Amino acid sequence: MKTFNIGELSEKSGVASHAIRFYERENLMPEPARTQSNYRRYPEDAIARLQFIIHAKQWGFTLDEIRELLMLQDANGDRAEAKRIAKKQLEKIRHQIQSLSRIEAVLSETLEECSGEGPMDGCPIVEAIAQRG
């Protein structure tokens, strides 16, 4: 089986070397084999694992949730647990969408109200941010 050093893995996966080492410390990546010179050697499947981590982060999963999903995958665990984690994430995303929709509406309204001229005192944009946070 082909193995890679950390630089090669970084290049093939698009994940920086320092991030790979961080994921190892966070137990998202298994401890790699070491050469006699103590250099890390990663198997080919490490590329797919890193890509999974990156995609899960893009979807908004926390490192703890990603770790849990990876542990389920490694142990061929219960799909119900994966579904529970994903359902919780979907609820968070829906809440974020609602929050962003409210912010979008207020910002749109204040942009209409603001003339874009004159002193800042009484600016509807600044007042809306101060009042609604």
Q: How far apart are CA 69 and CA 11, in angstroms?
A: 25
Amino acid identity of 77? G
Q: How far apart are CA 96 and CA 90, in angstroms?
A: 10
Q: How many CA atoms lie within 13 A of 5 on its CB side?
A: 5
Q: How far apart are CA 62 and CA 53, in angstroms?
A: 10
Range of the domain at 55: 1-61
Radius of gyration from C-alpha coordinates of the chain: 23
CATH of residue 47 = 1.10.1660.10
Q: Residue 70: inside a domain, yes or no?
A: no
- pTM of the complete model: 0.80
133 pLDDT higher than 80:
no
Judged by DSSP in three states, 34 sits in: strand
pLDDT score recorded for residue 18: 97
Band (118; pLDDT cuts 50, 70, 90): confident
Percentage, residues of the chain above pLDDT 70: 99
Q: Are residues 54 and 82 in the same domain?
A: no
What are 28-74's pLDDT values in tens digits? 999 999 999 999 999 999 999 999 999 999 999 999 999 999 999 99
Q: Are residues 35 and 83 in the same domain?
A: no
Burial of 56 (0-12, 13-18, 19+ CB in 10 A): buried
Q: Residue 119: inside a domain, yes or no?
A: yes
